Structure 1
Amino acid sequence: MDALRSLTSGAVKRFLLIVEGDWRPYISTAVQHGVRAILWRASFSASAFLHTIHAVGNSGVVLPPSLQGMLVDDFLRVQNEVLAPRDLTTHGLASREVDVLRLVAEGFDLKEIAQKLAYSERTIKNILYQVIKRHGLRNRAHAVSFAIRVGII
């Protein structure tokens, strides 16, 4: 991991690791430092290597199933222990922001949204403004489109 940290400082890079069967890092840390593929040395073959290089070159990820499970476990731990207690989603939106965007998408105006959520109209405007500003969006329609694309609504 130290070698990966030094290689990835300041630049976006993608790495393929060939590892021994007893290698058990925090897979999310490896991914954070640019690892996009892992091959077990014991099952290494030229065809697997070429397939993996091609996949990583096309922005893909190749991980053994056991490591995929570890990565999903890490993701769920962050979701449940870090984001949810702070009322955030994986896309950095608070649940009230998601609620507002959902209601905008359903065609409600600011006054109706404020009544449904028991906020003032000014609060609804501020919520929308913060989402638009934080994510570099242009307007409410763009914010709704963003929410749909990332699967929030």
Structure 2
Amino acid sequence: MAEQIADAAAGGAAEPIRVLLVDDQELFRRGLTMLLSVEDGIEVVGEAGDGVEGTSLAASAAPDVVLLDIRMPKRTGIEACRAIKEAVPSAKIIMLTVSDEEADLYEAVKSGASGYLLKDSSIEEVAQAVRVVADGQSLISPSMAVKLIDEFKQMSRPEREHVPGLRLTERELEVLRLVAKGMNNREIAKELFISENTVKNHVRNILEKLQLHSRMEAVMYAVREKLLDLP
């Protein structure tokens, strides 16, 4: 009986998150592979040294999460991000880079990236980012969050007085404001005294109404259209 219970538990275990690493620095790539491979629930399914190889490997391996450098030969990380999202729409992409340039962050978000981490992040932070984006959320390095908000402000168009056709409910606006503060679904649920599933439903509805593909894109749109009051 005990063996049957153990077998049932093993059979019900969650599948590991399949990760692809794309970085032209072989030493960094190999080191990260070794470190991620010992993390619970994460499996590295491939490595690539440039954007072209990374796109091809993503198409064949169909990873859950892709860690992409920005500065790479043959095809940049930004270009590879677009190509991978087209080839494997379900793949979540995290830019893992030394670049703290606002322009790179903005282009990464526009290209479909769900995360943006600097290479000075700890392995724990990288592993957590993999888990967060695999769960459908977004994550960026804290130091870049401020720059993202600044980019939002610069995108604001004072001359726009209204948003034609846009109808978010008060609750959806509340959720969007908290997303803009960098909160994840669990934190938003706690703040608003609702369930995580309810938060997920609100986020999905927001994206559908805005016709966007990620939480970060939704916040960028909302700030541009003056739906949020950011400090």
Q: Tell me the TM-score normalised to structure 2 length.
A: 0.35
Structure 2 residue corresponding to 1:15, chosen from 88, 93, 100? 93
Asked whether the equivalents of residues 96 and 117 of structure 2 are also in contact (C-alpha less than 8 Å), the reply is yes
Distance 1:23 1:48 in 2: 17
Q: Which residue of 1 aligns with 2:144?
A: 67
Q: Which has the higher helix share?
A: 1
Secondary structure class of the residue paired with 2:138: coil
What runs of 5+ residues in structure 2 fail to find an aligned partner? 1-77, 174-226
* 1:3 has 2:80 as partner: yes
Structure 2 residue corresponding to 1:76, chosen from 146, 153, 163? 153
Q: 1:49 to 1:65 in 2, by over 3 A?
A: closer
Structure 2 residue corresponding to 1:39, chosen from 117, 133, 140? 117
The AA in structure 2 aligned to 1:40 is L
Give the deviation of 1:19 after TM superposition: 1.0
The AA in structure 1 aligned to 2:132 is A
The AA in structure 1 aligned to 2:114 is R
* 1:28 has 2:28 as partner: no
The AA in structure 1 aligned to 2:160 is R
Secondary structure class of the residue paired with 1:85: coil
| Structure 1 residue ranges (4+ consecutive) displaced by more than 3 angstroms after TM superposition | 9-13
Count of residue pairs the alignment pairs up: 95
The AA in structure 1 aligned to 2:159 is P
Cα deviation per residue 1:90-125 (whole Å; 9 max; x = unaligned)?
xxx25xxxxxxxxxxxxxxxxxxxxxxxxxxxxxxx
Give the deviation of 1:24 after TM superposition: 1.8
Q: Which residue of 1 aligns with 2:159?
A: 85
Asked whether the equivalents of residues 12 and 34 of structure 1 are also in contact (C-alpha less than 8 Å), the reply is no
The AA in structure 1 aligned to 2:153 is L
Secondary structure class of the residue paired with 1:43: coil
Give the deviation of 1:25 after TM superposition: 4.8
Q: 1:72 to 1:36 in 2, by over 3 A?
A: same
Cα RMSD (Å): 2.6
Structure 1 residue corresponding to 2:134, chosen from 50, 57, 79? 57
Q: Which is higher, the Rg of structure 1 or of structure 2?
A: 1
Q: Which has the higher strand share?
A: 2
* 1:150 has 2:172 as partner: yes
